[in-house]
Structure 1
Amino acid sequence: MTTVLLVDDQSLLRVGFRMVIESEPDLEVVGEAADGQVALEQVAALAPDVVLMDIRMPGMDGIEATRRVVAEHPSSRVLVLTTFDVDDLAFAALRAGASGFLLKSARPDELVDAIRTVAAGTSVVAPRVLRRMLDLFAPHLPDAGGAVPADPARDPRVRSLTPRELDVLRLVADGCTNSEIAAELFVSETTVKTHVGSVFGKLGARDRVQAVIIAYECGLVARGGSAPVAGG
C-alpha cells in the first residue's frame, strides 16, 4: 500500500484528489494539510510515501515545505501540483528536491500513475522538459549557481565521477533514455543502468531530476543545447 498526504489550500481539490486516489486498491490517503507548516507536521507524524504538494499556499508555500520535507524526511517523496507545465515556481520546487510535477488538470489515471511512479523512486518529469525549464528559469533564481566553471569536471560535486560516468551524466541531462545512452556509448543497457546508479550514488541524487539539475549547475550541459560527449 502506497500512502499519500494531500497538501492544498483548496478543500474541494483535496476532496477530488482523495476520491481518485482512494478508488485505487494500492493507494491510501493518510492525511491532509492546507498549508506548508501543517504539511510538515503531518509528514513527521504519518511518514507518507508520497506528498502531493501544492505550490501556492498561504503561510509556508510549497517550495519551502518541499525543501524541508526532503531535508528532514527523505523517505517521503514530493510530487508537486502546478498549473502550467513550464513554470518558474514548479522548477523552483524541483530544485528544492521534488521528484516531479503534475498539472492540476491531469486526468485521474495520470494522477495515480504519477503517484505510483514517484513512490517507486522514479521522477515524473521528462528530462527534455526539465532542460527547457532550466534554460528559461535557472539563471534568474536567487540561488542560481553563478558562472559556469571553465572545467566543469573539476566541480566538487562531480569530481569523483569517472570519465564514463561523466559521459552518462551528460547524456542523462540531455534527456536520453537508458537505451539511447547505450546506443550512443556502444554498451549494453544493463551497463548503462549500473553507471546511472553509480552516478546517482556519488552525486547524492535520488532521481534523474536531481541529476539533471546538478549537471546543469556544474556546466556539464550547455544552456540551450547539449555539451559534446567527452571521455572514454
Structure 2
Amino acid sequence: MTNLKCMSTIPVAIVDDKTLLREALFNNLSYYNEISIVLQACDGSDFLDGLKALNPTERPQVVLMDIEMPVMDGIEAVSIAKDLYPDMHFLMLTVFDDDDKLFEAIKAGASGYLLKDEKVANIVKAVAEIVHEGGVPMSPRIARKALALLRKVPEATQAAAKEEETIAGEHALSTREMEILSRLVDGLNYQEIGERLFISPHTVRKHIANIYDKLHVSNKASAIKVATSKKWF
C-alpha cells in the first residue's frame, strides 16, 4: 500500500491486486494534471486500511476499483466504504462485463463502470464527469448491458402486477378473509382464530366457507396449499 500527497484538483485512489497493472495505471494517470493519486492498494481490505491512515482532507474523491481481488473483492469494499464515506465515488475498472457483476456493483454504490481496456484519457474524463457533473460513466459495452437490465425491470413489475391481479381479481379475498386464511396457515383452529380476531367461531366458520368458495377448494388443507403456493404469507 502506498500513500501519496494530494496535490491537484481531484484526489484519486487505485485498487488492483495486479501490481504491474496498478503501476502502469498510476504511471499513465500521472501525466494528467486534473487528478492526483493519493492512495494505492492491492485489495479491498488494504484499501480500507489505507483510508483510515489518511487524513480526512487527503482522502480520495474517486476510487478506481477492481472487482476480482483476493482477501476482499471490489464490490464488498465499495459496499463497506460507501457506509463509512458516503461522499466518496467509486469507478469500477475491470475486465468483467457480465450482468451479475454490473448489478452487484451498482447495488453496492458504484458511480461508474469502465472496462480496463478503456483509454487512459477516457478514464480521466470519467473521473471528472463523476466529480463535476454527477455523471455515471460506463464503457459502451457496459452501457448496453445496463440498458438491457433496465428493460427487464418493467417486465418484472408487470409480472408482479399480474400476480397481484390474480389474487385480487380471481380470488377477491377480503382483508378479513386474508387475516383468517393466514391464521389457518399458522395452524390455528376456529376457536383460536376467533379469540385472536375478537369474533365468534361461527363468524370464523362463515368466513372460511367464503374462502373455500373463492379459492375453489373444499377443505383447509387445500386452502393452505393455495396460499403457500402463491406465497401470500
The answer to whether TM tops 0.5 is yes
Choose which of 12, 16, 24 in structure 2 pairs with 1:8: 16
Where relative contact order (Cα < 8 A, 6+ residues apart) is larger, the structure is 1
Choose which of 52, 59, 64 in structure 1 pairs with 2:64: 52
Matched, 1:27 2:39: no
Percent identical residues: 35
Distance 1:10 1:128, change over 3 A: closer
Choose which of 141, 145, 161 in structure 2 pairs with 1:150: 161
The Cα offsets for residues 135-172 of structure 1, whole Å up to 9 and x where unpaired, read as: 68x9xxxxxx9996539xxxxxxxxxxxxxxxxxxxxx
Paired letter, 1:37? S
Matched position secondary structure for 2:72: coil
The Cα offsets for residues 79-121 of structure 1, whole Å up to 9 and x where unpaired, read as: 0012144442132111111001110111111111111112222
The 10-residue stretch of structure 1 (5-14 or 66-75) with the greater mean CA deviation from structure 2 = 66-75
Matched, 1:131 2:110: no
After superposition, the CA RMSD in angstroms is 2.6
Q: For the residues of structure 2 that align with 1:43 and 1:3, how far apart are their CA atoms?
A: 12
Tell whether the 8 Å contact from 1:3 to 1:30 is kept in structure 2 after alignment.
yes
| Aligned counterpart, 2:83 | 71
| Runs of 4+ displaced beyond 3 Å | 84-87, 126-129, 133-136, 145-151
Quick check: which one's helix share is greater?
A: 2
The 10-residue stretch of structure 1 (28-37 or 80-89) with the greater mean CA deviation from structure 2 = 80-89
Paired letter, 1:122? G
| Aligned counterpart, 2:203 | none
Distance 1:25 1:129, change over 3 A: same
Matched position secondary structure for 1:74: coil
Q: For the residues of structure 1 that align with 2:27 and 2:76, how far apart are their CA atoms?
A: 27
Tell whether the 8 Å contact from 2:91 to 2:114 is kept in structure 1 after alignment.
yes
The 10-residue stretch of structure 1 (27-36 or 109-118) with the greater mean CA deviation from structure 2 = 109-118
Matched position secondary structure for 2:12: strand
Q: Which has the larger radius of gyration?
A: 2
Distance 1:108 1:149, change over 3 A: same
The Cα offsets for residues 196-226 of structure 1, whole Å up to 9 and x where unpaired, read as: xxxxxxxxxxxxxxxxxxxxxxxxxxxxxxx
Matched position secondary structure for 1:52: strand
Unaligned runs of 5+ in 1: 139-144, 152-232
TM-score, structure 2 length as denominator? 0.55
Q: For the residues of structure 2 that align with 1:51 and 1:21, how far apart are their CA atoms?
A: 13
Paired letter, 2:39? G
May I ask how many residue pairs the two structures share in their alignment?
144
Unaligned runs of 5+ in 2: 1-8, 163-233
Matched position secondary structure for 2:36: strand
